[in-house]
Structure 1
């Protein structure tokens, strides 16, 4: 069984594409020449000492799980706390009808001659105080 597993893995690995082989470039592409030259140019080799250290402040799976559980519990508590305060707007017509019954609109009165004279006096006084804005020199 081990031999079959090893042969199967070797056959599968050999059937895979070579990741180090350059992919074919369409010669009609406007960037074909730049791609070919970039594929032939090798970059600088990195040293093992240049690999950054593994960060130490990454939370573990257990810490993330605990934080998610706390957040869900806080959300559920907020939903329970605000549920009694939620409401829907219902039966608006009966409320509006009641408000209309309780409100007495003012009776319309035609303006009198005194009202017209007061309005005209106010307009005359406003025109007397008005002045044109200063003109801008050009």
Structure 2
């Protein structure tokens, strides 16, 4: 029974390897294009077009303005120290509000109190006239069939 299993496994392995080898036989071959595709002609032309080959001399030089690891480490350390100093400077109970009376007095002088008056009969009549005119201009929405 084990012999039969080995034969089946061996046959599956051979078939699998053959299928894999045929699929990877030529990785540079152009893939087939679906002729019913609206871009089939453009895809085929693009696949056949030969592009320019880069020369070794066209490779750009290595940039020289990149900071070294030590320079970056120093910049990060400096930024972290500045952040910690700011946290300490703005921690609770590290400052107090003083001499605010002059500011408050100026604000009180600049502010005009709003007029809180009860509406008069003339105000009520004007409001009612406006509402009556708005109701007169209003029309019912069209009926839906």
Please, what TM-score do these two structures have when normalized by structure 2?
0.39
Please, what TM-score do these two structures have when normalized by structure 1?
0.41
